Structure 1
Amino acid sequence: MTEDSNSNPNSSRDLASPSPPPPAPVPLTPGPRATVLQKTFNQALLRTLRANSYANFSGCFPTPAKHVPASLESVWRQLNAKLEESARAEFEDIVHERDAIRQLNELDRLMGEARHRRDHGQGQGDVAPHTLTPEELYRARLAPHLQEAHTAMNAKIESTQNENAALSQRVQSQRLEIDGLMSRLESVIADLEGAATAATQFSAENNLRKEAVQMEEEVKARSDI
């Protein structure tokens, strides 16, 4: 018994390993959501082709419809066939390019697991870290820091906006005050200009009066002689 257990040391480790088995590969056959997508496309394409009926098509070409209806109907059939073929080919290219079937099947799987955890009372905390992908672990690790940085950035932006609003009001108030000071200053300048004008006129009149007095004194002096 001892030799058997020592000869196969990996057997005990395999039984005690906490790692879950690798997830099953995602099937490429259309699942529920992929099937609904294809069904929706087929219904939309069918409605489009029905809208392009022969009656509507021939109404656009009344002369050929009257003289060569068989040829016109053949053209109509070829046109619809080409339209359907092109639409289906383009749809298949998009599905292949976007890997839509695998992605939708993966979504079906994730939704099924989520419903299973919900029905059995399991939360996100029950998911073992070693079952997550590197990207999921990376996002889970950075999410709290990014959220904290986002909250701090929003607080700074809000504070800056409030400061800008206060500064704007302050500048507006200072502009109004400057306008009032300018108005008062213009009034003072106008008063000073009026005073200067009056003073100039008074000085001119005073000089004339002095000249008249001087002339009277000279005339009086001559008459005394």
Structure 2
Amino acid sequence: MATDDPTVQPAPEPASVRSPSPVSAPPVQATPGPRATALQQLYSDAVTHILKTCNYENFASCFPTPAREASQSLQQLHEEFTARLGASMRMNFDQIVEERNVVPSLNELDQLIEDAKRRKQKAMDVAAAEDKEVVQPMPPHTLPAQELYLSHLSPSLSQQSEALKQRQVALQGENAEVLQRVLQQRREIEALVQGLENVVQDINGSVTVLKPEEFDSIRNEARTVDEDMRMAD
């Protein structure tokens, strides 16, 4: 029995009626994964190597007089310079990594590679269970240049081909409409010509029926009417 009471909640639908939710992609971790960690470690090692190269001996060789007269001040300047240089290089690197969304992108790449490895292993296990030979896909770098650029152009070419097909169908429809209009106009012209031919036949029949004296009388009346009209003008 139906009720209008808003406090009464409808009964939940059976679980079998509800459609299953789509499987969503796994979330990308914000913390650095293996490749992001390796990139950060590589840059950190590069900065450390640069700072070691710019040691006090190399730095002092560029300023021989201050190194001889005020070595302690120059050494303090070197320490401040290398500390600021290292901090600036690391800060700029962190800023670029954040702006370019490097960590999530590398983490997503890690997930894709791990997923590909799992699917490859699963395919190998299934093939081994069914006693079938595992067909290894051809590496992309071994494909010929023509096949590579055609694979890149395939989506665009497919889209253009579909657009051309739709345009062709539209033109065929327009041509069919134009053809119908032309045929209709041709039928109207034929009807008009047939009507004129009937009128001409009626006139010819009337002339044939007229007697010579009646024809002369009509001619005289037409001449009289023409002279009267000229005089009126």
So what's the TM-score if we normalise by structure 2? 0.48
